[in-house]
């Protein structure tokens, strides 16, 4: 693994902290699935963690919740707590566990209680501002890659023990 040096206006995910940091996101965040805007906000958060592209959290009041239903299962994050999952269903199209949320996150992450994060790989498109994001490799972390962040990024084959 060789760290990519960030250019002007870019951030290296290798400069992000561990444990992760929560910060407000001033950019517009959007999620689309099956031709429908599922989420649209200018009131989001992002979580920054070493080696990961940012994960964006959108308040549920800015999510079209009629298209989501609770999915079975959950996971545990040592920093944020217990996550629950959401399945999208629009016009007969289904994306299992397309999003997750923390209903009772740990104290440092309390502001994202009830916010949803979406896997870019499990929806039609996600945007930060006007830029369409690329999905972080793998099915675990769910970060959104934009031109503002450089890696290499954890998540792909051979990166598990970075």
Express each pLDDT in 108-152 by its tens digit: 999 999 999 999 999 999 999 999 999 999 877 899 999 999 999
Whether the bond between 19 and the residue before it is cis, its omega within 30 degrees of 0, is yes
Whether residue 1 is predicted with pLDDT greater than 80 in this model: the reply is: no
pTM of the model: 0.96
- Cβ(162)–Cβ(153) below 8 Å: no
Residue 121's φ and ψ, nearest 5 degrees, are -75, -10
Mean pLDDT of 89-104: 97
Residues 92-98: contacts with CB under 8 Å, at least 24 apart: 93/33, 93/34, 95/33, 95/122, 95/123, 96/71, 96/122, 97/71, 97/73, 97/122, 98/33, 98/68, 98/122, 98/123
Q: What is the mean pLDDT of the chain?
A: 96
Express each pLDDT in 48-79 by its tens digit: 999 999 999 999 999 999 999 999 989 999 99
């Amino acid at each position: 693994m060789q760290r990519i040096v960030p250019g002007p206006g870019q951030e290296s995910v290798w400069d992000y902290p561990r444990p992760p940091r929560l910060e407000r996101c001033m950019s517009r965040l959007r999620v689309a699935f099956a031709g429908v805007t599922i989420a649209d906000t200018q009131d989001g958060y992002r979580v920054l963690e070493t080696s990961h592209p940012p994960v964006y959290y959108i308040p549920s009041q800015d999510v079209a919740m009629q298209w989501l239903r609770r999915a079975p299962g959950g996971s545990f994050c040592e920093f944020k707590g217990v996550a629950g999952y959401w399945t999208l269903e629009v016009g007969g199209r289904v994306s299992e566990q397309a999003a997750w949320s923390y209903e009772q996150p740990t104290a440092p992450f309390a502001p994202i209680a009830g916010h949803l994060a979406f896997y870019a790989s499990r929806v039609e498109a996600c945007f930060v501002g006007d830029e369409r994001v690329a999905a972080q490799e793998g099915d675990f972390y769910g970060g959104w890659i934009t031109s503002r962040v450089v890696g290499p990024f954890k998540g792909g084959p051979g990166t598990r023990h970075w």
